[in-house]
Amino acid sequence: MAMVKALPHRHIKGFTLIELIIVIVVLGILAAYATFNASPAELTLPAQAERMASDIRQVQTLAYTTGQRMLFETPNGTNITYTAKSCNASNVCTPVVLSGSLEKGLALSGTTSVHFSTLGQPTAAATYTLSIDGSSKTISVAALTGFVTVTP
């Protein structure tokens, strides 16, 4: 009778399928919990800041493409609607060229208005801060170049 030798048992390093599924389920639960506990305005704070910065850039572009001075106005507070107007040489500004609004609950502080020359240059530096529940984003307009940035 021939004897059959048993193969030595090898330990294979790695995760089992069940361990991977458990980790994925736990991560999904944590992600759902984090999403439902954040307000819609908090989730869109970066998007709102980028949209407002984009609107400021659009006002600059309108200034130098139309050859007209432009005014970008923002009242401080909450439930903000900001506007852009074209202005003549004697600072008389005509109806709204562009308008935008921020999500409910976001607060805006900083510069209330900035004028752009016909070259798209601001007359002075401007800084806007959007905030909600301790989170904030700052939109800056450089004085000489008019370069618009968003920083955390």
Report the CATH superfamily, name and number, of domain 41-151: minor pseudopilin epsh domain (3.55.40.10)
Q: Which helix (H) or strand (E) holds 65?
A: helix 40-66
pLDDT tens column, 26-46: 998 888 777 666 555 556 888
What is the rounded CA–CA span in Å between residue 137 and residue 55?
Answer: 16
- pLDDT for the residue 7: 61
The string of DSSP codes covering 14-59 is S--HHHHHHHHHHHHHHHHHHHHHS-HHHHHHHHHHHHHHHHHHHH
What is the rounded CA–CA span in Å between residue 134 and residue 98?
Answer: 29
pLDDT tens column, 91-145: 788 877 788 888 777 888 888 889 899 998 999 999 999 888 888 999 999 998 8
SS3 state at 66: helix
**Which tokens go with 80?**
């903000």
pTM for this prediction: 0.69
> How high is the mean pLDDT of the chain?
83
